[in-house]
Homo-oligomer: A and B are copies of this chain.
Amino acid sequence: MKHGGDLISYADYYQGELIDFSSNINPLGPPEGLKRELINSFNTLISYPDIQYRYLRKAISEYLKCNIENVIVGNGAVEIINNIIHLFKRVIIFIPSFSEYEDRARVFGKEVLKLNYLEDFSLDLENLEENMMEGDLLVLGNPNNPTGLRIEIEELKKAYEIVRAKGGFLLLDEAFFEFCPEDYDSIDIFSDEDFKGVGIIRAATKFFALPGIRLGYACISKDMVEEYKKIELPWSVNALADCAGRYIFNCKDYIDKSKRYIEAERKFLLEELSKIEGIKVYTTHTNYILIKLLNWDEEFVFYKFLKDGLVVRKCSSFDALDKSYIRVAIKDRDKNLRLIKSFKELERL
C-alpha cells in the first residue's frame, strides 16, 4: 500500500464507519459555503475550463501574495511534481519522503539519487553539497511526509545556496504548509529572488480538506513556467476544482480557525501520546505524527487498530523506514481520544 486513504480495501474488517487516520486531512472539513458555491457553478461543467485558468491563477496569486505569472495549477500537487521532474535529468531526494518523488522520476527514466535524512530527520546539508551536480533537481517535502518536520529557515536558505551554486532547481513540496507554525513563509523568502531556481508547490487537498477535488498549485520562476507550459496537459484542472479554488482561498475565518484548531489538537495529541509506553513519538510541525513502535510491528498494530475501527498508515513502504513505524493524522478531539484509547490498549498487549 503506497498511499493512505484507501479505506475501501479495509471496509470488510469492521462493522461501522472506519476512521481514517491514514490520510492527513483537515478535520474541520472544507470551508462553509463551498457546497453552495459548487452547486451554483454546476453549469461550468458544460464548457471546457479556461485553458489558461486565468481567474483561478489570479485567486491563487492573491492568496500567495505573488505574481500571477509565477503561478501554475495542476491535477493535485502530484501532477505538478510529475511535470517538473520531467524537465530535469537527475533528481535528488531525501528519504524517507513521499513515495511519488522517486516513482515519478522512475516513470521518466530519470536518474535518482537518494540521500538519507539525519537521525532526527533534519537535512544533511553536507551530504547534499558533496553530491549536488550541475543542473540537478532537489525535491524536498516541507514539512516532510511522513516525518512531519519542517525545514528550519536557515537550513532552507543554505540548501537553496547549494542548489543555486550548481545551477540546479529546488522544488519544495509544501502540501501541508498552512498547518505549520507561522514562523516563515517560503513565498516571502524566495520572492526577493524572483523565485529564480525555485518552485513551491501547495494544494487544496490537505488543509482545505478537498482530496477529492484534485487541485494543486505552485509558485515557480517565470522561466520554469515557460518550460512547464510546453509539457503540461490541457484542461488538467476540473471546472469545479477551478471554482472551488476561486472560493476557498478567500475564506479567511476558516483558515484562521483551522490553524488554531490543529495547533491545539497537535499539542494535545503529542502530550497524550508521549505518555504511552512502547512507542517513540516524533515532533511534528504539521497535522500528522510519525511514531516508532518499540514492541510491535506495523502489521500487528494496523490490525489491532482496524479492529477498533481506526485505519493508521503503515510506514514500511517509505524508503528508509522499516516495519516499526506508523503515521497517524491529527483529527478532531473525539477521534483523537479514540486513537489514544487504542494506544492505551496496545500498551497492555
Contact = CB atoms under 8 A, between A and B. Distances in A.
Interface in A102-141: 107
Contacts of A242: 212
Interface stretch (A228-236, A275-283, A336-344): A228-236
A326 B214 CA distance: 35
Interface footprint category on A: 35 or more
B238 A213 contact: yes
Given A46-B25, A47-B20, A3 B234 contact: yes
B42 A234 contact: no
Nearest to A81: B233
Interface string A230-266: 1101111111111000000000000000000000000
Nearest to A75: B75
A45 B8 contact: no
A211 interface: yes
A7 interface: yes
A242 B211 CA distance: 13
A79 B82 CA distance: 13
Nearest to A211: B48
A72 B9 CA distance: 19
Interface of A: 2-8, 20, 23, 25, 29-30, 35, 38-39, 42, 44-52, 54, 75-76, 78-79, 82, 86, 100, 107, 209-214, 230-231, 233-242
